[in-house]
Structure 1
Amino acid sequence: PNADEWQYYISGRARMTVFGSHGRVRTDEFNAGDVGYVPQGYGHYIENIGNEDVELLIALNNGSYESISLADWIGANPHLLLATNFEVPENTFKDFQTRNRFLVG
C-alpha cells in the first residue's frame, strides 16, 4: 500500500481488476508483452484466464515492500469472529495460512 506497482507480463493471459474507494473499479486483460499499472493505495487481483501459467515481473517505486492481503486479514482475526460474520463453522478457518508468502526471484 506504499507504492505504485507496474507489471510486465512475460507469458500467459491474465485479467487484472483494480479497485478503490467509492466503487471505483476497472478490469483489463493482459498478454505477453503488456504492461499493467496499479496506483498506490488501490487494491487489485490477477486471474489466469489462459491455458498456460502467467509469468510477470513486478516493479514498485518504493524500496520498502508492504502489503495488505486477504491471508493477513484472516490470520489477524479470531476464528469465532470470522465464523460469525461469514456464517460458517469456526473450524472452517483452522487450516488457513496465517503468514504471507512472498517470493523473490
Structure 2
Amino acid sequence: MKNLPWNQAAYGYVPQPIATTLAGVNMRLTPGGSVRIADSSNFPISKTIAAALVKLQPGAMRELHWHPNNDEWQYYLTGQGRMTVFAGNGVARTFDYRAGDVGYVPFAFGHYIQNTGTETLWYLEIFKSDRFADVSLNQWMALTPRDLVRDNLNVGPELLDVLRKEKWPVVKYPGFSYYPRNR
C-alpha cells in the first residue's frame, strides 16, 4: 500500500490532519514526571476534545489543581495511584486506581493524584473541550500577595517560601515510602 500525504485520502483530501503524536508535543517535564497535552492549539481538528497524557514516577504526584472549563474523565494505563477529590463544604473523597480503571472529577472540583506504586503511573486526562486548562493551587497561592495568604491560611514562611510562581503539574512529594506505614 502506498503511503499518502496526511491530507490525501483514497477519495479526496481532508482539510486538516486527523492524526497527531504526543511525543514531545507541548510537554511539561518536571521533577517526578511529565504532562503532554493535545488540544486545538496543537491539533487543530480537535474542536470538542482535549487530553493530557500524564506520567507520574514513583514518589510523584499530579499537584492539587482544578479545571475551570469542564469535567475530567481519566483512563489509567499503567501502575497504580490514589486520587483525592475536594468538593464544597469540606467534603472530600479518596479513590484508588490501577491500570484499566476509569476516574471522573466534576467541573471545578480540586483534586490531586499520587503514584502509590513502585512503577511509573501513566494515565490520560480527557475533557469535552477544545482547550486543556487547569489551575494550580501552588501557583495560585504563590501569585497571591504573601500577607493575604499568610493571614487567611494562618501559615508561616516555611510554606510561603516554597510556593512556586511557575506551574509544575507533576511534583515529588516529601515523606513518600513504597511500603505502607505501620498504623
Q: TM-score, normalization: structure 1? A: 0.79
17-26 or 27-36: bigger deviation: 17-26
Amino acid aligned to 2:132: Y
Which amino acid is the alignment partner of residue 21 of structure 1?
G
Q: Which residue of 2 aligns with 1:73?
A: 140
Name the residue aligned to 1:15.
Answer: 82
1:102 & 1:48 partners in 2: Cα distance? 14
Structure 1, unmatched stretches of 5+, are none
How big is each residue's C-alpha offset from its partner over 1:31-64, in whole Å with a ceiling of 9 and x where there is no partner? 0011110011211110111111111111111122
Q: Distance in 2 between matches of 1:39 and 1:78?
A: 29
- Counterpart CA distance in 2 for 1:89 and 1:30 is 32
Q: Helix, strand or coil for the counterpart of 2:141?
A: helix
DSSP 3-state at the match of 2:139: helix
Identity %: 39
Quote the Cα distance in structure 1 between the aligned partners of 2:112 and 2:77: 17
Match of 2:157 in 1: 88
Aligned-residue RMSD, C-alpha? 2.4
1:35 maps to 2:98: no
- Determine which structure has more spread, i.e. the larger CA radius of gyration: 2
Number of aligned positions between the proteins: 101
- 1:18 maps to a residue whose letter is V
Which of 164, 169, 177 is equivalent to 1:97?
164
Query: Once the 2 structures are TM-superposed, how far is the Cα of residue 23 of structure 1 from its aligned partner?
Result: 2.4
What is aligned with 1:3? 70
**Structure with higher strand content:** 2
Match of 1:53 in 2: 120
Specify whether residues 73 and 27 from structure 1 end up closer, same or farther in structure 2 by C-alpha distance, changes over 3 A only.
same
Q: The residue matched to 1:86 in structure 2 has which SS?
A: coil
Q: Distance in 2 between matches of 1:57 and 1:88?
A: 36
TM-score scaled to structure 2, two decimals?
0.48
Larger helix percent: 1
Deviation at 1:83, TM superposition (A): 5.1
Residue matched to 2:58: none
